[in-house]
Structure 1
């Protein structure tokens, strides 16, 4: 007689652990022996119309039921299933045998409508594990169930849960769920089912076992429950989202391990450690068959020492660390991420109910050969190829819609210019909700992105910088229908905005838009006029904007000046370059401007060839020799040198001036100045610091300097050499 607590002669309740391979095997065996004509499974009852899809060939766990409030997709919930989930095995068995199967838990329409009350989060398995002497409930379940011999344990688990429930006050949510489960069971019996199997979480099993009691009591509990209109569908899921780290309440710590336990069949431990060896060999680590054999022996020995029937995850992990990773926890973490947790992505049939936007995205991704996968993939695009341009536009449109399937990344290909883009693609299950949220903008990706751009451009509080960023995104997405409205809004905003910093922040995006427009074949010639207008107003207002800057404001101004300068140089248009450099040249002699900004402008003029090397050296010498405090002089140096030390490597006169000034600082002045200088030189590349250190080694000491104490000097020299990265 198979296990399962009897309600009557023809109803049996199988209390399981969600996502437990041992439970999954036991459920399948129990169903084979019991041969019910109706199966009830814990899950939202309003998902019953979707059950038929579980039998489709294209349905591949892990997958999840997604329920969301119709018209308000941010209100959503997931019910995940893996191949080793007992509920999934019950669904599969029912489909294979043509048995009526239904979900019996509270419908999502009620669950999503209920206010988020704090339910009882006490883990009953943790209490049982503690009683058995385990500090980790995962290890306890692994020992008792997952690595066991397959002995039936449903009755024992139900009895244990009954004891725990008697000492626990059930929360209102649990009472409602169990009342609905009992009502569903009554309905199945009344509908003529002769042999009913109920698969539910072990905690709920006692509530469905024994006499069900009068239906009126449960009806009172369920009366007046809030309800909203919901939509449900299946979505792909991942093993990592089954883990407790993902925030899923019924999660597990080792989905990859559990998948192996369910699918490996015999020789579970040797097969697992062979997988470990493959992962380590893929990282070019010397792992041989001897390592695998020794790790298997150690895992079995640890299990015997602990009186366990078979080695579990803890024994296998210890054997992996000791034998195959040589105690290296970094390698062990790699094994945990790749195998113990894993990153398998499921799939759903094409005819799964979905919003039109999702169907359009799937079709376009298939056409462009972009595969949704859970592991990160780097995609290098050559924008001179039609397919890559179309891929780029799709990914940019999805970014506009808040669907972060792809994010821009740094390329490992040595190439310059605007013809190349690199993306990092990772499909995450929660993107299904993002797509549903974005569907309110339109039924296709292009239409939705266009509608969203238009809406954001017409917002009352949209800033000039936001408009320029939006225009750049629209260009990259090739949303030609939205460009006229964006340009009009941009022209108006630029005319009304009198804040020079706002204008400076807006110019780089506009310039990139001008530059990339030619590459992508988009006509945006009208932007040149807006760009020129912004630059004229920036140059006219920059002088006033520089007055009275404190140190924090000066840092922001330097950033803005760098951005405008880079944009002007990128555009490479003679009139614009002359106007900008002329504006900088007219301001560098002012004495009322923060030295950080003046030093930066001198450096930019020198790099652009607008002032000579001799002139820039003279200005540095003047800034370091008169008037201001040492910290103000250090700010000038930071502005002049910030961002790269290559100038000091090649210009020995500048290096001599700087070295002389630092050498002449008094003790307190040096202490006050050191943090600023450290910030400046700390931003240099290691090679630049080494070259500078080698240049100043052996320099002449001032005749007026105090006598050197060789012992103290040796300590100082070693310290400076360590900082600069040169041999002492």
Structure 2
């Protein structure tokens, strides 16, 4: 009996060649591969003849959480060559890792992104020893461009060194114990025939040790919780999603380059990389001369020779291209000197170089591949590309709109709304949509299938997840999306999550926006069938109470009027007016808060004015004596901000209360020139709450009071910008002060 443990780096052409060559050489009884064991009974599906890259996508959903993860495979993945070479050799193929939904993998979004961060200290020392920038350059230096002679021994030494005394966490221990039991069982069943085990190099030392003794029976397959929904499907993947420069954290960056390396070897890959970069830059009208190419290749060859490479490695070619094609100073580090996404501000030529390395390959599934029900449900009704105009007054168009909104909520590519109803906007009965083809649509639909079997169920689950993760500023949009999707009542845990989000609000402005949208939906959204909704009513009630509580705690001196805060008080007023009786809102408690805030010198001016307006609009009077209340609250230094709050909440009451405009004219007219200039921008904002017709009425009444028969329109028309007028008035005031100071005027 012989067990060959091959520790690999995921998505490494050198490891993929080693795995395939080893399996062809030893012709094992079993090939055991790090991968989701719950896919073993579907191995034939995996080997149908897909165009790689592809991935196994697993979705998990229970009442508490949803989790999605991927097991990606490309032509040069060692796991893939283990399966294909093992199949050709007649071996039994088994994935031996825990299923992706298992708690040990609960934080793993990508099964093959699980190792390098653990031993960064060791690889850091190796990078310094070999004078390379990062682990990718180190890997190329040690393995990818070196001859394959002795590769297995070098890999084993490398992974023994990097694992060293690293303490594995409980999740790793659980995975390694499970994989080791598969190894022991396969060895027992194979008898004298060999077994090949292919796993990430991090796990290899532990598996060698654990495989020596223990239970030799086949491990049981873990079962998900009874209340959980779990599904695994093959999905098309892309080089872009594999690329470390796009955020992928395992295996190799620049998958297009490594595909060429896998197919043609390091020398051809270097030449091909230069050609692809040149073609891409020229296609974007970037000048690349023959002399530039000669200089880039000469530099790359010189760097390879200096670094001890038998052929130019990826970083040699990139450094050579950067030196030849970028003549300006580069403000950000070269991206191949580190891992992770490109930084903002990267040079445009560098960005195009990275894109050329990434490649644009997109995988395709074999036509016989099983797909989740959601895919069939959507593709049967979605239709082809084009523009659609939907009349929401028609039931058929309204149902089509709901379908498209469900796909939009599920983030299906190629489905975009260009116009239509907006949260708290006016009634709009026409929607326009743009439908386009997208290579990413099928993967997105397969992944969205984890939410449900049809668009309505899937969108409802996606919206529930958004509600749980939304901050208060996003909650109004989520509520409106729920209406657009026609999901209907959300109850149970989702309703609790909504109420909890509102109850935990700490910012009055976003809470007011949520209340505004929810109240509009509860009052009169017959179009989307939310009028009178119990769920939305619950949100209105909770948001009104929370807003009053938050408002009473706001403190602050003079400051620019906060329009979101004023709008929140307006939303409270409208809720009390239009839903108070139906939803059991406490009007007397709200009036008490309004009166206390209106009289508080610690509250900001805009909130004091809005609170006075709230009490005035709900009672029909500003306490017993409106004029006295206004006169007592008016402070010249903050007059504009205070009036903004008052006008927003009680515009009509101010306009139609006898003597109120005249009182305000008296108060504003009594301000000094300096006080007026300081207050002018805020005063303009405050009077902006009056529509044009009412501003004309105010102007007419003031003209009658001050100038007899002049026209009110003349006060509303300025030939110059208001800020220029204010600057001119300030200049006049300074000139007059200087003249008085010098005794040139005395009156």
Change (3 A) 1:148 1:639: farther
Match runs of 1:318-467 below 5 Å: 318-327=319-328, 329-335=346-352, 338-341=355-358, 346-348=363-365, 358-361=372-375, 363-365=377-379, 367-368=381-382, 382-383=389-390, 393-398=402-407, 403-405=410-412, 419-420=431-432, 435-436=449-450, 438-439=451-452, 443-447=453-457, 449=459
- The answer (yes or no) to whether the contact 2:374–2:446 under 8 Å persists in 1 is no
Match runs of 1:549-564 below 5 Å: 558-559=563-564
- Once residues 22 and 408 of structure 2 are traced to their aligned partners in structure 1, the CA distance between those partners, rounded to angstroms, is 48
Change (3 A) 1:649 1:324: farther
Change (3 A) 1:232 1:649: same
- The answer (yes or no) to whether the contact 2:4–2:197 under 8 Å persists in 1 is yes
Q: What is residue 600 of structure 2 aligned with on the other side?
A: none
- Once residues 380 and 93 of structure 1 are traced to their aligned partners in structure 2, the CA distance between those partners, rounded to angstroms, is 48
Deviation at 1:474, TM superposition (A): 4.2
Q: Find the residue that maps to 2:35 and give its secondary structure.
A: strand
- Once residues 395 and 620 of structure 1 are traced to their aligned partners in structure 2, the CA distance between those partners, rounded to angstroms, is 56
- Once residues 45 and 414 of structure 2 are traced to their aligned partners in structure 1, the CA distance between those partners, rounded to angstroms, is 32
- The answer (yes or no) to whether the contact 2:102–2:224 under 8 Å persists in 1 is no
- Give the alignment's TM-score, normalised by structure 2: 0.60
Deviation at 1:143, TM superposition (A): 1.8
- Once residues 379 and 670 of structure 2 are traced to their aligned partners in structure 1, the CA distance between those partners, rounded to angstroms, is 59
Q: What is residue 187 of structure 1 aligned with on the other side?
A: 185
* Match status 1:201 vs 2:200: yes
* Match status 1:105 vs 2:97: yes
Match runs of 1:59-458 below 5 Å: 60-66=52-58, 68=60, 74=66, 77-106=69-98, 112=104, 121-123=118-120, 125-162=123-160, 177-192=175-190, 194-206=193-205, 217-219=213-215, 228-229=223-224, 231=230, 233-236=232-235, 237-239=237-239, 241-242=241-242, 250-263=250-263, 267-288=268-289, 291-327=292-328, 329-335=346-352, 338-341=355-358, 346-348=363-365, 358-361=372-375, 363-365=377-379, 367-368=381-382, 382-383=389-390, 393-398=402-407, 403-405=410-412, 419-420=431-432, 435-436=449-450, 438-439=451-452, 443-447=453-457, 449=459
Change (3 A) 1:190 1:546: closer
Deviation at 1:364, TM superposition (A): 0.8
Change (3 A) 1:18 1:390: farther
Q: Find the residue that maps to 2:735 and give its secondary structure.
A: coil
- Once residues 184 and 467 of structure 1 are traced to their aligned partners in structure 2, the CA distance between those partners, rounded to angstroms, is 47
Change (3 A) 1:305 1:119: closer
- Once residues 602 and 71 of structure 1 are traced to their aligned partners in structure 2, the CA distance between those partners, rounded to angstroms, is 46
Deviation at 1:190, TM superposition (A): 3.0
Residue ranges of structure 2 left out of the alignment (5+ in a row): 109-113, 331-345, 421-425, 499-507, 545-549, 572-613, 656-660, 690-714, 741-747
- Once residues 84 and 551 of structure 2 are traced to their aligned partners in structure 1, the CA distance between those partners, rounded to angstroms, is 72
Change (3 A) 1:218 1:121: farther
* Match status 1:21 vs 2:13: yes
Q: What is residue 37 of structure 2 aligned with on the other side?
A: 45
Q: Find the residue that maps to 1:200 and give its secondary structure.
A: strand
Q: Find the residue that maps to 1:18 and give its secondary structure.
A: coil
- Once residues 233 and 471 of structure 2 are traced to their aligned partners in structure 1, the CA distance between those partners, rounded to angstroms, is 40
Q: Find the residue that maps to 1:323 and give its secondary structure.
A: helix
Q: Find the residue that maps to 1:40 and give its secondary structure.
A: strand
Q: What is residue 670 of structure 1 aligned with on the other side?
A: none
- Once residues 294 and 401 of structure 2 are traced to their aligned partners in structure 1, the CA distance between those partners, rounded to angstroms, is 49
Change (3 A) 1:252 1:41: same
Q: What is residue 652 of structure 1 aligned with on the other side?
A: 720
- Once residues 233 and 583 of structure 1 are traced to their aligned partners in structure 2, the CA distance between those partners, rounded to angstroms, is 58
Change (3 A) 1:182 1:562: closer
- Once residues 428 and 622 of structure 1 are traced to their aligned partners in structure 2, the CA distance between those partners, rounded to angstroms, is 68
- The answer (yes or no) to whether the contact 2:6–2:198 under 8 Å persists in 1 is yes
Deviations 1:555-574 (A, max 9, x none): 676336679999xxxxxxxx
Q: What is residue 582 of structure 2 aligned with on the other side?
A: none
- The answer (yes or no) to whether the contact 1:381–1:392 under 8 Å persists in 2 is no
- Once residues 554 and 452 of structure 1 are traced to their aligned partners in structure 2, the CA distance between those partners, rounded to angstroms, is 41
Q: Find the residue that maps to 1:56 and give its secondary structure.
A: coil
Which of 595, 599, 608 is residue 639 of structure 2 equivalent to?
595
- Once residues 170 and 476 of structure 2 are traced to their aligned partners in structure 1, the CA distance between those partners, rounded to angstroms, is 52
Change (3 A) 1:18 1:564: same
Deviations 1:612-649 (A, max 9, x none): xx99x98998486469587655543565689xxxx999
Change (3 A) 1:58 1:428: closer
- Once residues 292 and 515 of structure 1 are traced to their aligned partners in structure 2, the CA distance between those partners, rounded to angstroms, is 67
- Once residues 734 and 100 of structure 2 are traced to their aligned partners in structure 1, the CA distance between those partners, rounded to angstroms, is 81
Match runs of 1:574-585 below 5 Å: none
Q: Find the residue that maps to 2:683 and give its secondary structure.
A: helix
Deviation at 1:86, TM superposition (A): 0.9
Q: Find the residue that maps to 1:83 and give its secondary structure.
A: coil
Deviations 1:136-193 (A, max 9, x none): 2211211222223444501222144445656556666555544544432332233237
- The answer (yes or no) to whether the contact 1:15–1:158 under 8 Å persists in 2 is yes
Q: Find the residue that maps to 1:60 and give its secondary structure.
A: coil
- Once residues 511 and 325 of structure 1 are traced to their aligned partners in structure 2, the CA distance between those partners, rounded to angstroms, is 56
Deviation at 1:596, TM superposition (A): 4.2
- Once residues 147 and 316 of structure 1 are traced to their aligned partners in structure 2, the CA distance between those partners, rounded to angstroms, is 13
Deviations 1:366-403 (A, max 9, x none): 642589xxxxxxx9764469999777533532566xx4
- Once residues 117 and 231 of structure 2 are traced to their aligned partners in structure 1, the CA distance between those partners, rounded to angstroms, is 26
Q: CA RMSD in A?
A: 6.4
- The answer (yes or no) to whether the contact 1:44–1:105 under 8 Å persists in 2 is yes
- Once residues 133 and 102 of structure 2 are traced to their aligned partners in structure 1, the CA distance between those partners, rounded to angstroms, is 36
* Match status 1:477 vs 2:485: yes
Residue ranges of structure 1 left out of the alignment (5+ in a row): 1-6, 372-378, 491-499, 539-544, 567-579, 664-698, 708-728
Change (3 A) 1:394 1:623: farther
- The answer (yes or no) to whether the contact 1:74–1:433 under 8 Å persists in 2 is no
Q: Find the residue that maps to 1:57 and give its secondary structure.
A: coil
- Once residues 433 and 72 of structure 1 are traced to their aligned partners in structure 2, the CA distance between those partners, rounded to angstroms, is 19
Change (3 A) 1:345 1:383: farther
Deviations 1:334-359 (A, max 9, x none): 236534456755455677667xxx52
Q: Find the residue that maps to 2:119 and give its secondary structure.
A: coil
- The answer (yes or no) to whether the contact 1:26–1:152 under 8 Å persists in 2 is no
- The answer (yes or no) to whether the contact 1:68–1:76 under 8 Å persists in 2 is yes
Q: What is residue 577 of structure 2 aligned with on the other side?
A: none
Change (3 A) 1:464 1:102: closer
- The answer (yes or no) to whether the contact 2:375–2:442 under 8 Å persists in 1 is no
Q: What is residue 683 of structure 2 aligned with on the other side?
A: 636
- The answer (yes or no) to whether the contact 1:45–1:107 under 8 Å persists in 2 is yes
Deviations 1:262-310 (A, max 9, x none): 2455621232223223433444433355544442332222212222112
- Once residues 44 and 332 of structure 1 are traced to their aligned partners in structure 2, the CA distance between those partners, rounded to angstroms, is 40
